Chains A and B, each alone.
Chain A
Amino acid sequence: MTWQTVWQPLTQIPIIWLLLTLGAYVISEGIYLAAGRFPKLQPVLHPVLLSVIMLITLLHYTQVSYGTYFAGAMPIHLLLGPATVALAIPLYANLQRVREYLAPLLIALLVGSLLGILSGLLIGHALGLSPTSLISIAPKSVTTPIAMALAQHAGGNVSLAAGFVILTGICGAVLAVPLFQLLRVDNEIAQGFAMGIAAHGVGTSRALQMSETTGAFAGLAMGLNGVLTSLILSLVLSGWFYFF
């Protein structure tokens, strides 16, 4: 009896994929939290990145198709809809802070939101990316559930969009402190807001390690950028594909 004769029937029990997804996440989160002693290294060990690597490795070596896995893990994927709606709660809580610096924050939001989309399209176009890749990379600065919904809506690839968002968050969180030192940005509000705009949730958790103010404005920026990008992305994309 080989391991395949045991493993094959097990892969047909759908709940195994729920269990393995949860298991991979629990292990990854443990590793991520343990890395909390090294705040600069921590974003690289993002639990989603680790879980995805673990599961792809497992599926690859045991020759199980993505279709089989996804059908089993579907209940987790379906919760993305309600979770996106639930983002209204932290957004509302953070909105109270806007009043004092209303004009500067709104200008920075508009600049950051447009730049997040347009710089991706311009650089990607210059480097010869396909239209599907461009649509999938355009919403990379907004929080994952919104970016996935936007990419799907605009005709991009949902998995590619999810991958970009996570990598963008990690990139932003790792490079934020050296970048701000280089540019001499020492204002905590500006630091946090920029991290939330450019690097969504991963950037926000890094910002929370820097200070409470930095974290709060990162959370606010993440929420506002999600809303604004949702409203303007299709407009920007249709304009872009009209000219290019």
Chain B
Amino acid sequence: MLYGVTIIFAALFAGEALSRLAHLPVPGSVMGMLLLLLLALWRQGFDARVTHFATHLLRYLALLFIPAGVGLMTLSDKIGSQGLALILTMVFSTLITMAVTAWVLQFLLKRQAAKNQARSQEVQP
């Protein structure tokens, strides 16, 4: 467990350091995730101890948003006049994103399946 914690924190530190020193537009924690992903792609997998710690941490991921979420209480006067506009923006943007993504992918997958079928029919007359 301690080894897994150390690797995760090392990746986080490396990501933060890289993000700050190189003035990257990507936050340090996300940079750390990318570095760890690159490490796994290079080594073709994760050490079981890293997976163990990460899985336990991610099991309670939702809990970690609560302190920031409670901060919404400080925004009531700022949101007040914009509340309806914010909700409408969120709902319509989400619907458009989900609808178009699903439609595009279904179209492309059907096209690929049709191509594959045509190819296999050529091979077996």
Say yes or no: B92 contacts A123, CB within 8 Å.
Answer: yes
A76–B46 CA distance with the chains assembled, in angstroms: 26
CB distance from A70 to the nearest CB of B (A): 6
Residues B73 and A152 in contact, CB atoms below 8 Å apart: no
Contact call B94/A84, Cβ cutoff below 8 A: no
Q: How large is the interface on B (under 10, 10 to 19, 20 to 34, 35 or more residues)?
A: 35 or more
A69 touches B70 (CB 8 A): yes
CB pair B93–A159 under 8 Å, yes or no, is no
- Chain A residues 35 to 90 lying within 8 A of chain B, measured CB to CB, are 46-48, 51-52, 55-56, 59-60, 66, 69-70, 73-74, 76-77, 79-90
- In the complex, the answer to whether A234 meets B25 with C-beta atoms within 8 Å is yes
Chain A residues whose C-beta falls within 8 Å of the C-beta of B53 in the assembled complex? 86
How many chain A residues touch B (Cβ–Cβ < 8 Å)?
Answer: 102
Task: List, in ascending order, chain A residues with CB within 8 A of B91's CB.
Answer: 171
Which of chain A's residues have a CB closer than 8 A to the CB of B70? 52, 55-56, 59, 66, 69-70, 73, 159
Query: In the complex the two chains form, is A87's CB within 8 Å of B33's CB?
Result: yes
> Assuming A73-B66, A73-B67, A145-B64, is B98 touching A103 (CB within 8 A)?
no
Please tell me if B21 contacts chain A, counting CB pairs below 8 Å: no
A87 to B33, CA, bound (A): 7
With A55-B70, A129-B82, A129-B89: A91-B37 Cβ-Cβ less than 8 Å = yes
Determine if B75 is an interface residue (Cβ-Cβ < 8 Å). yes
Choose among A55, A108, A150, A191 the residue that contacts B30 (Cβ–Cβ < 8 A): A150
Q: Is the CB of A124 within 8 A of B15?
A: no
Q: Give the B-binding residues of A (Cβ under 8 A).
A: 21-22, 24-25, 46-48, 51-52, 55-56, 59-60, 66, 69-70, 73-74, 76-77, 79-92, 101, 103-105, 107-108, 111-112, 115-116, 119-120, 123-124, 127-130, 133, 137, 140-141, 144-146, 148-150, 152-153, 157-160, 162-168, 171-172, 175-176, 179-180, 183, 185-187, 189-191, 193-195, 197-199, 201, 226-227, 230-231, 233-235
Interface contacts beyond A123-B92, A160-B75, A187-B106: sample of 6 additional A-B pairs, CB < 8 Å, sorted by A: A84-B33, A101-B109, A119-B96, A180-B102, A193-B101, A199-B98
| Interchain residue pairs A-B with the least CB separation, the first 8 | A159-B71, A234-B25, A194-B102, A112-B101, A149-B27, A104-B108, A198-B98, A86-B54
